[in-house]
Amino acid sequence: MAMDEGERGIAGVIAAEQRRGEALVARDFATLRTLVAPDITHTHTRGVTDDFDGYFRFVEQDIAFLEASRGPLDVRISGDIAVMTGTMDNLVLPRGREEPIRTRAQALQVWAWRDGGWRMIAFQSTNLPA
């Protein structure tokens, strides 16, 4: 099977990212925990870096994702590692706010093939100009 086909190829990484976005909006944290590796390094657009526990505290308690979408994604695979880059557009409601905020950022993600599936091991995003 070519690396751009199937679950272990580029299509599989993109499908994992699609499931991650859907899980954030649905607040399906059980699914999200299967996609985010326990050794994640997650750097938010605001410059804060979280580990696994910090990331889940943030998405479970501090913010609600109302929409999560991605622009075109570039994925490169080398062995069991995939590097994904592309834009993301989210509509979020931070705790304590009444009005949602739309964010647009460029994201860099690193995924690893572990235990039969893609797990995100690193994430870094940078806000894009309005």
Mean pLDDT of 119-126: 98
Among residues of the chain, what percentage have pLDDT more than 70? 95
- The pLDDT value given to residue 7: 85
- The pLDDT value given to residue 5: 55
Average of per-residue pLDDT values in the chain: 94
CA angle 88, 18, 87 (to 5 degrees): 15
If you count them, how many residues does the chain have? 130
Helix intervals (H) in 36-114: 52-57
pTM: 0.92
Mean pLDDT of 101-116: 96
- The pLDDT value given to residue 96: 93
Residue 127: pLDDT over 70: yes
Q: How confident is the model at residue 101 (pLDDT cuts 50, 70, 90)?
A: very high
14-49 pLDDT, tens per residue? 999 999 999 999 999 999 999 999 999 999 998 999
**DSSP H or E segment with residue 11:** helix 10-26
Residue 88: pLDDT over 70: yes
CA angle 14, 75, 16 (to 5 degrees): 20
Q: State how far Cα 120 lies from the chain centre.
A: 7
- The pLDDT value given to residue 1: 37
Single-letter amino acid code for the residue at 64: A
Single-letter amino acid code for the residue at 114: R
CA atoms within a 13 Å half-sphere pointing along the CA-CB vector of 41: 5
Residues 15, 39: Cα–Cα separation, whole Å:
21
